[in-house]
Structure 1
Amino acid sequence: MTALQDVSFTVEPGTTHAVIGPNGAGKSTCLNVLTGVYRATSGTVRYGDTELGGLRPHRIAQLGVARTFQNLALSAEATVERNLLVGRHRLTKAGMIATGLSLPSARRELAEQRARVREVAALVGLENDLDRLVHVLPYGTRKRVELARALCAEPDVLLLDEPVAGMNAGESAAMSQAIADLRGALGLTIVLVEHDMPFVMGLAESVTVLDFGRCIADGTPADIQRDPAVLQAYLGTVAAEEELSHDDDAGDPQP
């Protein structure tokens, strides 16, 4: 089976664009292609005028693209601050020797980086957790740490792979508000992969739907929620027909 085939979509600057689909549809694979973790056998990925195909992940990150991961990829035995400082790596100028010898220039830069980390932590509600070890934090808080680490790279484009997976309703609502606030405050463009449909539909302006590696729909949340191919992919043919029939009946004028 081809993981992705004939998948094409455009993300408009300053918007939140969701990529959804059933399990195994190719959503995370798509993010891995966009960030250079996987290399597509054909096709192109463009960031503005820059062709990303063939670039290694760290080069794509240097262009201003940051991401989170479906499974938490944090240093559990390190503090929140240490994890966030990793996100500052692409913006750090001091070399290994200067840092190792703790030269004045390296110390000044570290102080500046820590100050920026505190600012980002405050944006996502982690200002009181910087000295805590990641492994003692609740799951929802650890998801925020991963979001904050990506933000510490000061990206223009932020890719989020299931940011509310495993969260309860309250945590999910809080994360949705945080992402919306961050996009407005930082002028981010966001590509979002998620299974939580209320979360997606309340946050995204555009939605691309994948199924078995192919794009089956692309449009606004309202369009996607009524698309027969999408309903069939999620609910099955009979259930999809019943859902469409129910919606049509609900829209009829009452006597």
Structure 2
Amino acid sequence: MSDLFDYDAELRLHNELFRAAARVGSHDRVLDIGCGTGQTTREAARAAVNGSATGVDLSAPMLERARQLTDDEGLPNITFQQADAQVHRFPPTHFDLCISRFGTMFFADPVAAFTNISHALRPAARLVLLVWQDRDCNEWATAIRGTFTTASAESRGPGPFSLADPTVTEGILVAAGFADVNFTDVHVPVYYGPDSAAAFDAVFRLWEFKDLLATLDAAAAEQARTRLRATLDAHQTDGGVYFDSRAWIVTARR
């Protein structure tokens, strides 16, 4: 699974805050949207000792890794499903809590998607999301993208920053049947690796750097590599390569 970017390492500091905000109860039935390799799902399952956790993601390779890690831990109360949360027919009014760590920003129709999710939650169930704030608040996006002279501005519509505006996001959630929407600022760095060489390899997986380089001629591609290495070198600390970031923890009730 070396071709998979290690989101769990990247988001370690975010995850600590997210886990605290989720407050999974011992009897909760938890739905984890965009679970990836399942770290947040496994943490929910360990907390919900008399409940359960269901992780949903579109990526078969990530879910394969999630199942392997879950088998290694021997967690009996966890299930993974390859499904599109926007349209998947979840059991109605079944879950007590829905969580998502950066897994809900890519919905083509966010109101329809969150409405579908809300139907899976019992009345008064909680929703806890972690989403990125504006692109300009996230150095990991601006600095790395800035190494490409061909990089274009972030397009509107589905994307990592689609839920960055609290007013817009609150409107989406209220329209989907949620209430008591609140936003908590999260200002911690993201981690790209122990040194700039490891970070360089990671960027190829996260940003599909090779695909972007393929669009450039040889000279421009080498210039982009040089700029990227310099950017990563500049962000290397004694503890690894870090970039500033800003996110929201969004909470609401069904």
Instruction: Give the alignment's TM-score, normalised by structure 1.
Output: 0.31
Query: Which structure has more strand as a fraction of its residues?
Result: 2
Query: Which structure has more helix as a fraction of its residues?
Result: 1
Structure exhibiting the larger radius of gyration computed from Cα positions: 1
Q: Which has the bigger relative contact order, CA under 8 A and spacing at least 6?
A: 1
